[in-house]
Amino acid sequence: YGFPPNHPPMGSFLGVPIRIRDRTFGDLYLTEKRGGGSFTEADEELVVGLAAAAGVAIDNARLHDRVGRLALADDRARIGRDLHDTVIQRLFATGLALQGAQVMCTADPAEAARRIEAAVDDLDLTVKHIRSVIFGLDASRRGESGMRDRILSLTQEAAGPLGFGPRVAFDGPVDTLVPEHVQSDLLATLREALANAARHAQARTVDVRVLATTEQVELTVRDDGVGGAATRSGGRGLRNMHTRAERLGGTCTIEDGPDGGTVLTWCAPVEPPA
């Protein structure tokens, strides 16, 4: 094939393929050995090792890119599920409730007002779900695995014992406002609360809500089960939840829900107690 026009002269040349397993990514060429002379077998052995290292680096880079694309596709699928299962369904139900309220404005103004108030509450909860999706997308883009991801992992693990997946809502940037020493106690409390719901509640739904402000973080776990947890004799798990909150200068309450079931509220300041 010869050399192209104006190619510099070469007195020595060494070329080896860059490959990993049975795949070739390219070639590594060296010419004009410093000091003159021809390339030796020792030179070739050294360059073969360098080419092998380059092949591994290229393969790892391509695998990393592939994993990133798969993670992006998985994240998009998760967001789609979140929007469909929570936001879209809730907005549809709210729209039907408002249509019903419109019809009742003349016949029963008090009932219409009650339905409108309930619709406003549902819209507020929907906004919180949207915020949760946005915070999750932002953390995913940064490649972080913060408290939000750890909470979601816990609730996914609880889906097996419960027989369904708990619904989760975040209010506020929990990953940035809640320090590590509070996160560990909150996650332990959530794990115990979900385990109690699976063992005792006989619930069909469990809602987990985490509210983070510049002053405190609040965890609420609500189920629609048989209730009675407020009067049930406390085991070690319940005592541990109270102890974790008190150690941080916070509180833990377990009450029967207004419509049945159990409501656990665990609250702690984000700064250590003085």
* pLDDT confidence tier of residue 122, bands split at 50, 70 and 90: confident
pLDDT for 133 beyond 70: no
* pLDDT confidence tier of residue 28, bands split at 50, 70 and 90: confident
pLDDT at position 6: 80
Domains of the chain with CATH codes? 13-69 (3.30.450.40), 145-274 (3.30.565.10)
pLDDT at position 67: 74
pLDDT for 217 beyond 90: yes
> Of 121 and 250, which is predicted with more confidence?
250
| Helix (H) or strand (E) segment spanning residue 229 | none
> Of 271 and 88, which is predicted with more confidence?
271
pLDDT at position 267: 96
243: Cβ contacts below 8 Å, ≥ 6 apart:
none
pLDDT, tens digit (0-9, with 9 covering 90-100), for 31-67: 888 887 888 888 888 888 888 888 888 888 888 777 7
Residue 21 — φ and ψ, nearest 5°? 55, -120
Residue 10 — φ and ψ, nearest 5°? -125, 125
Counting Cβ atoms within 10 Å, is residue 175 exposed (0-12), middle (13-18) or buried (19+)? Answer: buried
pLDDT at position 149: 85
pLDDT at position 129: 66
Counting Cβ atoms within 10 Å, is residue 189 exposed (0-12), middle (13-18) or buried (19+)? Answer: buried
Most confident option among 23-27, 34-38, 91-95, 178-182:
178-182
Residue 272 — φ and ψ, nearest 5°? -60, 145
pLDDT for 10 beyond 90: no
> Of 211 and 228, which is predicted with more confidence?
211
| 211: three-class secondary structure by DSSP | strand
178: Cβ contacts below 8 Å, ≥ 6 apart:
147, 186, 212, 217, 270
| Helix (H) or strand (E) segment spanning residue 91 | helix 89-107
pLDDT for 258 beyond 70: yes
Mean pLDDT calculated for residue range 144-157: 83
Residue 11 — φ and ψ, nearest 5°? -95, -20
Secondary structure letter of residue 187 according to DSSP: H
> Of 87 and 97, which is predicted with more confidence?
97
